[in-house]
Amino acid sequence: MVYLIFLAAMLIDLDHLLARPIFDPNRCSINFHPLHSYYAIAVYAGMLFFTKTRILGLGLLIHILADIADCWMM
Ligand SMILES: [Zn+2]
């Protein structure tokens, strides 16, 4: 279960790899990457309502929260 959460959080990181440069400490990833848009976040939140996708949605939301925290620290 923890592995699935970890996997989901890693999958969304592929989004970061598509960006150039891959890592920019001065960039907020929220709304910059397609998988980090408010629309995508709404989909992840919706996944929490279904037993089959709940763990995956949780992992994705944890990743988004970590990225949001990064934005706040800038
Ligand atoms: Zn991210």
What region, left, alpha or beta, does residue 24 occupy, with left being phi > 0 and alpha being psi -120 to 50 degrees? beta
CA 38 / ligand 1 centre spacing (Å): 13
Instruction: Say if residue 39's pLDDT is above 90.
Output: yes
Output 29 or 43, whichever has higher pLDDT: 43
H-only helix segments in 1-74: 2-11, 14-18, 38-47, 51-72
Distance 15 CA to ligand 1 centre (A): 7
The pLDDT score that the predictor gives to residue 25 is 67
R_g of the chain, CA atoms, integer Å:
12
Tokens at 10, concatenated: 């890693």
Query: Is the pLDDT reported for residue 20 higher than 80?
Result: no
**Which pTM value belongs to this model?**
0.80
The Å distance, Cα 13 to ligand 1 centre, comes to 5
Distance 4 CA to ligand 1 centre (A): 17
Q: How large is the average pLDDT for residues 25-44? A: 87
| Predicted local distance difference test score (pLDDT) of residue 48 | 95
